[in-house]
Amino acid sequence: MSERVREVMEYDVVVVGGGPAGLSASIRLKQVSPGASVCLVEKGSEIGAHILSGAVIEPRALDELIPDWRERGAPLDTAATDDRMIYLTAKRAVRVPLLDTVMPHMGNHGNFIVSLGDVCRWLAGQAEALGVEIYPGFGAAELLEEDGRIVGVATGDMGVTRSGEPGPGYAPGMELRAAYTLFAEGCRGSLSKRVMARFGLRAGVDPQTYGLGVKELWEVPAAQHRPGLVQHTFGWPLDHRTYGGSWMYHFGENLVSYGFVVGLDYPNTWLSPFDEMQRLKLHPAIRPHLEGGRRISYGARALSEGGLQSIPRLTFPGGALIGDAAGFLNVPKIKGTHAAMKSGMLAAEAVAEALADGRPAEPASFTARVRASWLWQELRGVRNIRPAFAKYGTIVGAAYSGLDAMLLRGRAPWTLRHRHPDHAVLDSAAASTPIDYPKPDGRLTFDKSSSVFLSNTNHAEDQPVHLVLRDPARWRAVNWDRFRSPESRYCPAGVYEVVGADGVGEAVGADAVSGPRLQINAQNCVHCKTCDIKDPTENIDWAAPEGGGGPNYIGGM
């Protein structure tokens, strides 16, 4: 039973990740090259289980991919009809007037409010009908390389015990070999990261920057449901040095998607994105929407905020990066779905061409196709907005973005740069102002553990911990002594817990005398990837756990 020999399957194309990018790439590939064999693996227990998004989506790419999506029953049921952008102070809300003129990049006419998980479930059905083989429950854990070319991936072993030995149910991973492998892992993909390092794909581009989105799904009384309402806020409760804001979308059957994005270049080590999201619900701009309803789901996910300046080289020998794994996202809009889909489609076209043309090492025409597409134009147009916020703060940043949009239409002759990776931006505990978050009331505001409960997160218990400190000793010297454990605040799932400090938690055995210690509750991880991004010395390595583990986001999420 426990022989470690891995079985091998050969395909023309292997796609890693079943989000909008990976699914669109598979569909496009089968459309233009029906004979190609395509295999897609997804680490979530099913397609959609790990998809967390807003989401107001632009149907542009979908129109191109599946023009008759309406007839085919795509779950885009709520049109965005009422669009509001609000600036908040602690007590007040000021609506940005003439939104379509001042911030045309924020307008939502013609867009739809959806559950992106449900859209992906639907896309997966379309892909399967075209003959794409989809295998949820299997994470790609390893790159396969031969003669300097990526020749596929291997899925992780199943049934390995915590100590790393094969357990009674051991099943070795499988090698999925392909002429081309498309990495569609979404933001901060664990293998995408390795591919970029292996082939130096980030040379000469700005560091990628990120945001963390923390989301709740509510079911509200019908009388207060305004289907089609799209509301964004900025300002309070964040200070001017911190980028971020909330979204609230009314859609479906009495559902409200509410959430908060914080730029991970936030400087205050005491900041907790989760608690910012919670306390904002007490503001009059949010409260009346949710009060009296019930919260039915919770989750979190990082997104790329670097934009055009941070997009790496897209192809390498044996494949390409697509979607948010490459950083295709319209940052000021926080819209990446159409970008993910379009980049996947363009990559598929490049791959189909390469398959038909002697299978050269790189599907090289992908880059040119991207540069010639509306996607590139769109990302060029908004490239300076996010860095302006980082450079000038919220108020001037917002003014700049209005100016940039109205006067220059994004055609400014300069490009603002991202200077620092997010992990390098954090002030010490001594230099940061502590934040006093209100206690959860259990009705409108909640704590982390009751929240994670609603994400239906599960990992097989007896398996190696998938979050590893590269140098465990550094935690005490850096994370604790200097920053007072920022991970215990930014992790939206309560995975990181300090025990043994100032009577917090309890230390056992030998630790009783050795002071604070980091406890990693890896089974709670919702796969948002923030720790992999924000740890001050990049000491935390997020690796794909046993397939099928992680959140199980419900329909509507």
Ligand X SMILES: Cc1cc2nc3c(=O)[nH]c(=O)nc-3n(C[C@H](O)[C@H](O)[C@H](O)COP(=O)(O)OP(=O)(O)OC[C@H]3O[C@@H](n4cnc5c(N)ncnc54)[C@H](O)[C@@H]3O)c2cc1C
300 neighbors 293 (Cβ within 8 angstroms): no
Binding flag, residue 525, ligand SF4 (CB under 6 A): yes
281 neighbors 448 (Cβ within 8 angstroms): no
Q: Which does 531 bind (CB under 5 to 8 A by kind): ligand SF4, ligand X, another protein, none?
A: ligand SF4
- DSSP class of residue 530 equals H
Cα separations in angstroms, 244 against 334, 521, 528: 10, 28, 17
Q: Give the binding range for another protein (CB under 8 A) out of 117-125, 332-340, 343-351, 519-527.
A: 117-125
Q: How far is the CB of 278 from another protein (least distance, A)?
A: 18
Identify which of residues 24 and 456 has a Cβ nearer to another protein in the complex: 456
Residues 205, 191: Cα–Cα separation, whole Å: 19
Beta strands (DSSP E) in 194-242 are 210-219, 229-235
Binding flag, residue 454, another protein (CB under 8 A): yes
Q: Give the binding range for ligand X (CB under 6 A) out of 35-43, 123-131, 362-370, 464-472.
A: 35-43
Identify which of residues 36 and 554 has a Cβ nearer to another protein in the complex: 554
Interior CA angle at 16 toward 11 and 17, to 5°? 135
- Binding marks (x or -) toward ligand X, 127..166, rule CB under 6 A? ------------xx--------------------------
Q: Give the binding range for another protein (CB under 8 A) out of 131-139, 223-231, 241-249, 316-324.
A: 131-139
Q: Which does 493 bind (CB under 5 to 8 A by kind): another protein, ligand X, ligand SF4, none?
A: ligand SF4
Binding flag, residue 237, another protein (CB under 8 A): no
Beta strands (DSSP E) in 192-314 are 210-219, 229-235, 244-251, 255-263, 294-304
Binding flag, residue 529, ligand SF4 (CB under 6 A): yes
Among 526, 544, 554, 557, binds ligand SF4 (CB under 6 A): 526
Binding flag, residue 49, another protein (CB under 8 A): yes
Identify which of residues 140 and 526 has a Cβ nearer to ligand SF4 in the complex: 526
- Binding marks (x or -) toward another protein, 54..93, rule CB under 8 A? ----------------------------------------
Residues 394, 239: Cα–Cα separation, whole Å: 8
Q: Which does 7 bind (CB under 5 to 8 A by kind): ligand SF4, another protein, ligand X, none?
A: another protein
* Structure-derived torsion over alpha carbons of residues 195, 199, 200, 206, reported in degrees to the nearest 10: -50
The encoded tokens of residue 356 equal 């038909």
The encoded tokens of residue 481 equal 């002594």
Q: Give the binding range for ligand X (CB under 6 A) out of 286-294, 322-330, 378-386, 414-422.
A: 322-330
CA proximity to 157, closest of 554, 543, 555: 543
Q: Give the binding range for ligand X (CB under 6 A) out of 335-343, 360-368, 414-422, 493-501.
A: 335-343
Edge-first strand listing for the sheet containing 78-79: 56-57, 112-113, 78-79
**Of these residues, 33, 53, 78, 209, which one is catalytic?**
53
Residues 139, 543: Cα–Cα separation, whole Å: 10
CA proximity to 160, closest of 460, 458, 463, 549: 463
Q: How far is the CB of 519 from ligand SF4 (least distance, A)?
A: 12
The encoded tokens of residue 48 equal 């959609």
**Of these residues, 272, 310, 337, 451, which one is catalytic?**
337
- Binding marks (x or -) toward ligand SF4, 444..483, rule CB under 6 A? -----------------------x----------------
- Binding marks (x or -) toward ligand X, 240..259, rule CB under 6 A? -------------------x
**Of these residues, 121, 188, 279, 301, which one is catalytic?**
301
Q: 373 exposed, middle or buried (CB, 10 Å; 0-12, 13-18, 19+)?
A: middle
Residues pairing with 503 in the sheet: none
Concerning whether 367 is annotated as a catalytic residue, the answer is no
CA proximity to 133, closest of 46, 44, 24, 38: 38
Q: How far is the CB of 60 from ligand X (least distance, A)?
A: 10
Residues in the chain: 557
Cα separations in angstroms, 162 against 83, 159, 167, 211, 539: 50, 9, 9, 32, 21
Residues 51, 257: Cα–Cα separation, whole Å: 14
Concerning whether 531 is annotated as a catalytic residue, the answer is yes
With H, G, I as helix, E, B as strand and everything else as coil, classify residue 37: coil
Number of C-alpha atoms within 13 angstroms, CB side, residue 122?
19
Residues numbered 82-101 forming contacts with ligand X, rule: CB under 6 A: none
Residues 362, 387: Cα–Cα separation, whole Å: 32
The encoded tokens of residue 395 equal 């108020």
Among 542, 549, 551, 556, binds ligand SF4 (CB under 6 A): 542
Among 93, 96, 99, 296, binds another protein (CB under 8 A): 296
Asked if residue 273 has a cis previous peptide bond (ω within 30° of 0), the answer is no
Identify which of residues 225 and 369 has a Cβ nearer to another protein in the complex: 225
Q: How far is the CB of 195 from another protein (least distance, A)?
A: 22
Identify which of residues 262 and 491 has a Cβ nearer to ligand SF4 in the complex: 491
Concerning whether 528 is annotated as a catalytic residue, the answer is yes
* Consecutive H or E run containing 181: strand 174-183
Q: How far is the CB of 475 from ligand X (least distance, A)?
A: 26
Identify which of residues 170 and 392 has a Cβ nearer to another protein in the complex: 170
Among 40, 495, 518, 554, binds ligand SF4 (CB under 6 A): 495
Residues 169, 184: Cα–Cα separation, whole Å: 29
Phi, psi (deg, nearest 5) at residue 400: -60, -45
Identify which of residues 52 and 201 has a Cβ nearer to ligand X in the complex: 52
User: Strand 7-16 to strand 174-183: parallel, antiparallel, or no bridges (unpaired)?
Assistant: parallel
Using CB under 6 A, list all residues that contact ligand X. Answer: 16-22, 41-44, 50-57, 116, 139-140, 184-187, 189-191, 213, 215, 259, 261, 301, 303, 323-325, 329, 334-338, 340, 544
Catalytic residue set: 53, 301, 337, 491, 525, 528, 531
